[in-house]
Amino acid sequence: MADSMASQATTGGTAPGVTKRDFLSLTTAAFAAVGVGAIVWPFIGSLAPSKDVLALASTEVDLSPIALGQSVTVMWRGKPIFVRHRTAEEIQVARATPLSELKDPATDQSRIKRDPWLVVVGVCTHLGCVPLGQKSTDAKGDYNGWFCPCHGSHYDTSARIRKGPAPTNLLVPDYTFTSDRAIRIG
Ligand code: FES
């Protein structure tokens, strides 16, 4: 369009009522607008999160294949997340534990969103090892939850610290149930 307008200007084909001076002003403004657009677009583009980042921001987990008593590990923002389909006995034992016995007191109910699922960040709160207890053959510690072999921290079936140097319970990540059998972490 600028070319055709330029061509009109050089051939004297300016529209009636528009002086050559008006035309030059309009052309300059148009080029300025195009120039600003060309600079702003890549800048805005660089501010938008990439598809990789968006994908890592949240993780969907289908709970359907996780059998009763089984745990799975999913990765979310570079961290392992433990999802355990707890048995009625595991839940009952966790709820029967007096808060006075806990190093980092928290009820089991405060650590879950919906029975029978427990969802926690699988990173030991001592120095960051990944505790054992996800596989059926793993050591699960003295409280049948998770055991961190790095320095001997034992977590119960609510992933609360019960013994060893870890100062606090395994963290509960931000997550929501998107249906009866699916959660979104993050
Ligand atoms: S990192 Fe788990 S007990 Fe030290």
Domain ranges of the chain: 2-46, 54-185
> How far does the centroid of ligand 1 lie from the alpha carbon of residue 184, in Å?
28
Q: Which fold has domain 54-185?
A: Rieske Iron-sulfur Protein (2.102.10)
> How far does the centroid of ligand 1 lie from the alpha carbon of residue 14, in Å?
80
Question: Tens digit of pLDDT for each residue in 127-140?
Answer: 999 999 999 999 99
Phi and psi for 175 in degrees, rounded to 5? -150, 160
Output b/e per residue, 86-110; b: 16+ Cβ within 10 A.
Answer: beeebbebbeebeeeebeeeeebee
Q: What pLDDT is attached to residue 137? A: 96
DSSP-derived secondary structure letter, 134? S
Which contiguous run of DSSP H or E holds residue 131? none
Ligand 1 atom with minimal separation from the 131 CA:
2
Q: From 125, 129, 147, give the residue whose CB has the most ligand 1 atoms within 8 Å, as the site to mutate.
A: 129
Question: Tens digit of pLDDT for each residue in 18-74?
Answer: 455 554 454 444 444 444 444 444 444 445 555 555 556 899 999 999 999 999 999
Detail the DSSP E strand segments found in the chain: 59-62, 71-76, 79-85, 117-121, 146-148, 153-155, 161-163, 175-179, 182-185
pTM: predicted TM-score of the whole model, two decimal places: 0.73
Residue whose CA is closest, atom 1 of ligand 1? 127
- Report the C-alpha gap between 25 and 19 in whole angstroms: 10
